[in-house]
Structures are given as C-alpha cells and as structure tokens.
Amino acid sequence: MNNHTHRLFQRKGLFLAILFIFAGQFAMAQEKVKVEASGSYVSRDLTPEQTRQKALDEAKRDALIKAGVAESITASDFLYTFEDNEKFKEIFQAFTSTETGGEVIIDSILSENRSFDQFGSMTIEVKVKATVFIHKGKEDPTLDIKVDGIEEQYKNNASLKFDITPSIDGYLKIFNVTDEVSSLLFPYIDKEHPYYNDNPSMQLKALQKTTFPVNKAFSDGYSLEITNPEKEKEFDLLIFVFTRKNIAFLDNAADMKQIMNWIYSIPMEERKVVQVGFVISR
C-alpha cells in the first residue's frame, strides 16, 4: 500500500481539537446550563451495559427538564439499523441529541448503583453532572447534506471514498470517532507535509456532488485500519458537520466531548449534523 495513503486512525499528523472561543460568537443564540440530574432503569432482558445506557438516557431527559426544556422532548442517540446498533450506542452513548429544544452532554457520572429485586430484575441508578445547550432557534430544512457511498462493513486496510451533496453553499467538517481515538478527518492538516493538506476554506457548492478525499494525494481513498492491533473489530463513527460559515480549529488532541461542545455551540439553524457508522473487521 502507498505509504502516503491518508489514514483514518494511525495518522502521524496532528489530531485537531476544537476552538472553544468560537462558541462565544453564538452566545446570544445558544444558552448553556449546568445541572445535576438522575436517572434509573429496570430490566430483566438487557445486558448491564444496555441497562446502564437506558439509565443515562433517563438522566439526560431529567437534565433537559431541569434546564427548562419541555418534558415532551425525546432524547435520541443513533439511527443505525444494522446488527451492531447496540454496540454503537454503548461506545458512543455520550453523543446524544434531541429533536428540538436542547442537547445534553454528560460531563461526569457522580454515582452509579446496581441492584436486583426478588424476581431477578436489575435496576441501575445514576446521578450525573450535565451541560444542556438550549436552542433559541429551530433547524433550517434548507440546510442539508446527502452522504452516499459508505458501507456498513469493511475489511481492515480497505479504502473508503464517499460523496457529499449539499443543499446550499457551505462548509464541511468531518470528524472520525472510534472507541479509542477521535480526530478531524476533513479538512486534514499536516504542518510538516503541507502537500497532504486539505484546503480549510473550501466551500461546497449547492447541489454539486463532491467526492472525498478531495486531495489528489489520497486518490486511492481513506485507508481503514483498526487502531488497536489486539482487536479483531473496530466500531467507527463519521460525524459530518455542515455549516453556513467556516469555522477555525486548533491543532491539539481532540476527544468526543470537545467535538460535542463545539457542535452544540453552533445554533441549530446554522448547522446540519449527519452521523454514519460502520465496522472494520480483520
């Protein structure tokens, strides 16, 4: 394989973090509230991790209520329909959005208790600290992107290409998240080897299909490699964030919560977020 093939996970270049001061630009549009919340869930058939996820979902709903968001708002995680749906929820449970009203990030878990009743049902209770981003606007249906060409399953060392078609002119950021690492996939920046850099100011044009990777240096596609050599399978999430305005980043390590904080700092009417998950197997 070409040594210069752009890799999703084992890149020697920079992992890019989020520029948090950008959030101040939208301070009037997004209100951020810190709360403590609790949730519990009872189950006989779910695994402990699945039951824990349900309890955290209830805590997120409680956080929305305590932040003043309507109780009728329903929190939702992922819309995947393939066999590893539950595993994606377990790995990426922190990334939760709501249809309207607000979005929740669990900052820390204060306590977690597990108990069983006389019938063998398991109850998990959690107490969390959370940040709630309260929307003052609504999603703009004219702001959208279509993602084509991503399969549900890939073999290790396979190549990935996909197409993006936006509804209007705008700017795209693509984050790659696994259960071990997070990084900015596009625009890719390597200060030591600028030949491999994407154009951070590239604007996608309305209704025009763009194939990724866009840099000719990576014409074979993104190389899909399992990060941990001891694993036989890796769960991957691509988060596509399409915005009307371009957004700057810092060149430091990124993690899931940083990505979420950045996304949630952008008003709903100024962004469209699409998540696509897939699995890499040896």
Structure confidence at residue 193 (pLDDT):
85
30-135 matches 17-26+139-281 in CATH topology: no
DSSP 90: H
Residue 202: CB atoms within 10 A of its CB come to: 13
Phi, psi dihedrals of residue 164, rounded to the nearest 5°? -120, 130
Structure confidence at residue 97 (pLDDT):
47
Structure confidence at residue 127 (pLDDT):
96
Please tell us whether the domain made up of 30-135 is placed in CATH 3.30.1660.
yes
The series of mean pLDDT values per 10 residues for the chain, 282 residues long, is 46 36 46 90 88 88 82 42 53 49 83 91 93 80 92 91 96 87 86 87 96 91 88 88 83 68 82 88 90
CA distance 265 to 20: 9
Structure confidence at residue 256 (pLDDT):
75
For residues 22-50, one letter each, b for 16 or more C-beta atoms within 10 angstroms of the residue's C-beta and e for the rest, the string is ebeeeeeebebbebebbbbbebeebeeeb
Structure confidence at residue 26 (pLDDT):
47
Q: Sketch the domain layout of the chain as residue ranges.
A: 17-26+139-281, 30-135
CA distance 186 to 174: 5
Structure confidence at residue 67 (pLDDT):
84
pTM: 0.72
For residues 241-277, one letter each, b for 16 or more C-beta atoms within 10 angstroms of the residue's C-beta and e for the rest, the string is bbbeeebebeeeebbbbbbbbbbbbbbbbbbbbebbb
CATH number of 17-26+139-281: 2.60.40.2550
Structure confidence at residue 1 (pLDDT):
35
N-term to C-term CA, the chain:
16
Sequence-distant (6+) residues with CB within 8 A of 12 are none
Nearest CA to 271 out of 248, 240, 249 is that of 240
Angle at 147 between CA 76 and CA 215, to 5 degrees: 130
CA distance 113 to 127: 9
